[in-house]
Structure 1
Amino acid sequence: MIRRILMATALGSLALSAAACNTVKGAGEDIESVGQAGDDAIN
């Protein structure tokens, strides 16, 4: 029983960390595109 709980917790943590990584990557790309648009507007 404890082994199943630990396995479920580990899999849940893995799924959440993968989703968070994708979210941070997407936010970084958004910030980069805003910076590029500002640079294009200045030039």
Structure 2
Amino acid sequence: MLGTVLLLAVMAVSACETVQGAGRDMQTAGQMVQQESADAQYGM
């Protein structure tokens, strides 16, 4: 999971050209992490 988050972070930083784009990329990555943690919690 940590590897996935790091990969998404690297992709987000390299893919965006503006501060606004970086914000959207980080928001998307955060939502994915939040979903993964919710899935893990319900799977326990």
TM range (shorter): 0.5 to 0.7
Q: Which runs of 5+ in 1 are unaligned?
A: 1-10, 39-43
- TM normalised by structure 1 equals 0.62
More helix by share: 1
Runs of 4+ in 1 over 4 A off after TM superposition: none
Q: Which has the higher contact order (CA 8 A, sep 6+)?
A: 2
Rg comparison, structure with higher value: 1
Q: How many residues align?
A: 28
TM, length-normalised to structure 2: 0.61
